[in-house]
Structure 1
Amino acid sequence: MSVSQPVVASPGAVARFLSRWYFVVTIISFGFFAWVPFVHAAVRLGRKPLYVRAVVFAAAAVAMGVLLSLAPTDAKGKVVGAAGNLLTTAALILGIVLIVVGCIQQGRLRREILRQVPGERLDGPDPALAAALAARQRRTEARKLATEDPLIARDLRVGRPDLPRNYDDGGLVDLNSAPAEVIASVCGLDAATAQVIVEVRAAAGGFAAVDDVFTAVPVAAWDRVRDRAVVLPR
């Protein structure tokens, strides 16, 4: 029986969803709380001028409240008289201005915040980076499988891109079984270094861990090897 895997939202998806509250707060409050998103953006972006902008919007909201409070009303709270209508209309216009101007400026700030999220572009996730991150995740899962159930990993041909297979391990190479040319290609090594790895493997009867090959690999290539290599029991 298969067990469904939990769906984890990407950081970009979460950021896009959460940043929409800027518009919700501004519109629902009819501009009274349009200053709040600017405070949030100032914190996220580290830009002090945004605090000034927040103060301007807050002052405008206070002015709108003052206009409404000055409008004369009858016993039932209904605005009366030409002065009341004028003050109410002025507050209404100011509220609309706060909503329109606020949403326009908040939209720009929202895009700036999304740029801070890895893998995000203005038009959504960067395809190349998203694919690279997905491949890294698959490598992590394949390594876990190789550790927990090496027999299944071997049957799935984890780390053997040179053999026919259906399992996607994200681009791993098994240092204990792959040919020298495959090790060189996947790990970005020169042919001579890959051949030394194969010779050391044969002499030692296999590697117990990826780090065992570092005696034959230049230090500059260690991170690439750690990222792409796996060792399955022989």
Structure 2
Amino acid sequence: MSVSLPAATSPSAVARLASRWYFVVTIATIGLFAWVPFVHAAVRLGRKSLYARAAVFGAAAAVMSTLLSLAPKDAAGKTVGTAGNLLTSVAVVLGLVVVVVACVQQVKLRREILGLAPAERPGEHPALAAALAARERRTEARKLVAEDPLIARDLRVGRPDLPRNYDDGGLVDLNSAPAAVIASVCGIDVATAEEIAEIRTAVGGFAVVDDVFTTVPVGAWDRVRDRAVVLPS
């Protein structure tokens, strides 16, 4: 007889609980170490923009530390005087702002890293939740392609035919993927996909997804827009 674990102790529940260290670090340090989760996320997701975000929170932490160090203190280390109270108050307010802003941003990052679907609404089918989560990952992958195509290429965005660790939500690169893969992902016939491959070779690659619509049937345009990307060839 098999015994199922309560939902609270299931592996996914444990993973969700353990991943909350982002919020613990940010809140417990009143924002001083809010930059740490963003460095972690940048390493895990391979996005340089997250390093820049970490630098912003690090700068805020430096300002808070400077304000606290400049506040006059007595022999016991207690803040004294109007200037001391003012500097401390400004540092605390800045810390609270950092905590709120960082935690809001960390909610989305945590879902991306764990591959979690957004919290399901009552009665929402798991398959629908998974489809919405995949769409969100495709949106994030497209942003990566636009912001840093070299990293996107290293992570093999749009190449489900190659070994990789990055989940792009089900995209295909029209400039490099084999015709059979383009046909499968975009839901078009192989002959059309092969024509796309021939055209990209002739023109040296597509600049935007819409470039292939001279070949793709109108009925498939929405599907192609949803699943295709073009990385520089």
Indicate whether 1:7 and 2:6 are aligned: no
What stretches of structure 2 of length at least 5 have no aligned partner?
1-38, 41-53, 55-101, 112-117
State the one-letter code of the partner of 1:6.
Answer: Q
**1:103-142 CA-partner distances (Å, limit 9, x unpaired):** xxxxxxxxxxxxxxxx6443xx320000000000000000
State the one-letter code of the partner of 1:178.
Answer: A
Tell me by how many angstroms 1:169 deviates: 0.1
Q: Which residue of 1 aligns with 2:162?
A: 163
CA distance in 2, matches of 1:221, 1:153: 25
Q: Which residue of 1 aligns with 2:227?
A: 228
Indicate whether 1:189 and 2:158 are aligned: no
State the one-letter code of the partner of 1:133.
Answer: L
Q: What is the TM-score of this pair, normalised by structure 1?
A: 0.51
Q: Secondary structure at the match of 1:196?
A: helix
Q: Which residue of 2 aligns with 1:146?
A: 145
CA distance in 1, matches of 2:152, 2:142: 9
CA distance in 1, matches of 2:216, 2:121: 35
Number of residue-to-residue matches in the alignment: 126
State the one-letter code of the partner of 2:178.
Answer: P
RMSD: 2.2
Q: Which residue of 1 aligns with 2:133?
A: 134
Q: Which residue of 1 aligns with 2:47?
A: none
CA distance in 1, matches of 2:162, 2:106: 31
Indicate whether 1:219 and 2:218 are aligned: yes
What percent identity do the matched residue pairs reach?
76
Tell me by how many angstroms 1:6 deviates: 2.9
Q: Which residue of 1 aligns with 2:200?
A: 201
CA distance in 1, matches of 2:106, 2:225: 27
Pairing 1:47-66 to 2, within 5 Å after superposition: none
**1:79-122 CA-partner distances (Å, limit 9, x unpaired):** xxxxxxxxxxxxxxxxxxxxxxxxxxxxxxxxxxxxxxxx6443
Q: Secondary structure at the match of 2:106?
A: coil
State the one-letter code of the partner of 2:158.
Answer: G
Structure 1 runs (4+) deviating above 2 angstroms are 1-6, 119-122
CA distance in 2, matches of 1:187, 1:164: 20
CA distance in 1, matches of 2:222, 2:122: 27
Tell me by how many angstroms 1:215 deviates: 0.4
Q: Secondary structure at the match of 1:178?
A: coil
Q: What is the TM-score of this pair, normalised by structure 2?
A: 0.51
What stretches of structure 1 of length at least 5 have no aligned partner?
14-118
State the one-letter code of the partner of 1:207.
Answer: F
